[in-house]
Amino acid sequence: MPYELQELAAISGMPGLYRLVRAARHGVLVESLDEKATRTLAPARNKVSLLSEISIYTQDPDQTVPLTEAFDRIYQKHGTTAPVTSKSSESELTDFMASVIPDYDRDRVYLSDIKKLASWFGIVSKHVPYQEATAVAEATDSAEAAPETKGKATKSENEPTADEPLSTGGVIAAADEDARAEGNPEAAPAKKSRKKAE
């Protein structure tokens, strides 16, 4: 996969793209995909759309083009800079889309979708390294060929893979604290008994 999109998302009500950091009590902790890399909480009420799950309609109703593949096609044709922006004319945008996905569905893919595609590609290509397909295949092959270590877990074995769901780090601990605060005797720490001095 040339561009790794698994942890990248668009969030309703929030401009730009974000890298998902971890789940939080009232939403998701995210990091803006820009020079500032500002961390903020995306509220649970906001819709989080993972880029890896977005596809573009084609004229075949049973077939769509994943955003990852669309980004790869744009890169192969134009490098890291798309020839259009959200301010380009309608004809420029539709010509660009037709050059990338010739059989895209003209009825279900709107002009706003094409603008979003160009804008997202610009952000991703600026902040996410492009990996050639051969480099990705070689990395996968070398990982499979590496001997397994027994007994001790390496750092990479403890890290989540790209297809794993977000960690719920911090959520469980926070829930435990809430339970203690509400007087749950099972969650509360044992109290030390004091003997009266006689």
| Residues 138-165 pLDDT 10s | 544 554 554 444 444 444 444 444 444 4
- Assigned CATH for 8-51: 2.30.30
Residue type, 51: L
**CATH 2.30.30 placement within the chain:** 8-51
d(CA 40, CA 59): 39
**CATH 1.10.10.1650 placement within the chain:** 54-127
CATH of 54-127, one of 1.10.490.10, 3.20.20.80, 3.40.50.300, 1.10.10.1650: 1.10.10.1650
pTM: 0.64
At a CB cut-off of 8 Å and minimum separation 6, what does 55 contact? 64, 65, 66, 67
* pLDDT tens figures, 63-118: 999 999 999 999 999 998 999 998 999 999 999 999 999 999 999 999 999 999 99
d(CA 6, CA 54): 11
Residue 18: alpha-carbon gap to chain centroid: 7
